[in-house]
Chain A
Amino acid sequence: MEEVEDERIGKNPPWSSDHLRRMAKMISMFLATGLLITIAITLSLYRVVVGPGVFNRTAAVNVIGTKTIVLLVVMGYYFERPYFFDIALLYALINFVGTLVFAKYLEKGELWS
């Protein structure tokens, strides 16, 4: 292990090879996490396709939306693009509002009264 000393930052500044090796390990961890979240989404997709009734399908779509938010944040760290977090925030809002609007539509049969 190569120890690099910098007088401003201290041991292991962000441009040392040790730091880069740890960063690559963590990025592979994020890839594994994203793949496992994708498997969980695929498991939930069964309830969307064959789930009896409209309520099961709506609940499963809400669950898939929550998992997609986490997948977007993990993808933001995998690609090292912080703009994915804004998309995740927007997706959280749209998921919540969509579920509420669909619940109201199922209850009253109309959206505006």
Chain B
Amino acid sequence: MVLVDAITIAFLGAGLFFLFVGSVGLLRFPDFYTRLHATGKCDTLGAGLIILGLIVHHFFYYPGTILITVKLLFLILFIFIANPTATHAIMRVAYKTGVLPWKLGEGRK
């Protein structure tokens, strides 16, 4: 049981690390494309890791309610499909409407 708590806390810490890396990348990168490069992957992985840790917690602390675990697994699956698709859609629209990528030597846009 203590091992289960340790695994859950490790998953939560890893997910929080990735969420914070995504937020700092959204703040610090110089360009729209580089900002989405940072957040589109880090947020997906961070959300997946945190919900995976909660699944481990649920599986050992609330036995007998397997439907909620399936619900959270479906939530992970949907986030892993939908979040990169949304990122790609907004980035494709920005490229089509003429937002130029950042080059070395330019200022922050």
A residues sitting closer than 8 Å to B (CB atoms) are: 12, 14, 19, 22-23, 25-26, 29, 33, 36-37, 40, 43-44, 46-47, 52-53, 55-56, 58-60, 62-63, 66-67, 69-70, 73-74, 77, 82, 85-86, 88-89, 92-93, 95-96, 99-100, 102-104, 106-107
Contact of B71 among A85, A104, A106 (CB under 8 A): A85
Contact of A26 among B5, B19, B92, B94 (CB under 8 A): B5
Report, as a range, how many residues of chain B touch the other chain: 35 or more
Q: Bound complex: CA of A19 vs CA of B90, how far in Å?
A: 47
Within B13-61, the residues touching A (CB, 8 Å) are 15-16, 19-20, 22-24, 26-27, 32, 35-36, 39, 43-44, 46-47, 50-51, 54, 57-58, 61
Contact B23 A40, beta carbon cutoff 8 Å: yes
Contact A89 B71, beta carbon cutoff 8 Å: yes
Contact of B87 among A14, A22, A62 (CB under 8 A): A62
Closest 6 CB pairs of A and B: A96-B82, A99-B86, A43-B23, A103-B89, A55-B94, A107-B93
Which label, helix, strand, loop or mixed, suits the secondary structure of the A interface? helix
Closest-by-CB residue of B relative to A88 is: B75
Q: A46-B27, A106-B93, A107-B97 are in contact. Are A25 and B86 (CB under 8 A)?
A: no
Closest-by-CB residue of B relative to A11 is: B1
Contact B109 A26, beta carbon cutoff 8 Å: no
Q: A63-B22, A66-B44 are in contact. Are A33 and B50 (CB under 8 A)?
A: yes
Contact B16 A37, beta carbon cutoff 8 Å: yes
Contact B57 A77, beta carbon cutoff 8 Å: yes
